[in-house]
Amino acid sequence: MALFLFLLLVAVVLGFVGVLAKGLFYLLLIGVLVALVAFLYVGVRIRRSGRRPTR
């Protein structure tokens, strides 16, 4: 969970810098990409932990 929050924080910071700084639109795109990776990471972890081992 800490990794997810860290990635989300990085995505938000990159997004703000990309919007506020002139000519750094690519940082906004990188921030969106990092956010997508964070959500995919959490989705995979939830999916794996939801299964019970079979006997």
Kindly tell me if the per-residue pLDDT of 40 is higher than 90: yes
DSSP letter (8 states) at residue 24: -
Q: What is the pLDDT of the chain when averaged over all its residues?
A: 86
Q: Which residue has the tokens 């990188």?
A: 30
Mean of pLDDT values over 15-39: 89
pLDDT, position 50: 63
Would you say 6 and 19 are in contact if contact means Cβ atoms under 8 Å apart? no
pLDDT, position 52: 64
Backbone dihedral angles phi then psi of residue 23, each to the nearest 5 degrees: 85, 5
| pTM of this structure | 0.75
CA dist 45 → 13, 20, 41 (Å): 24, 33, 6
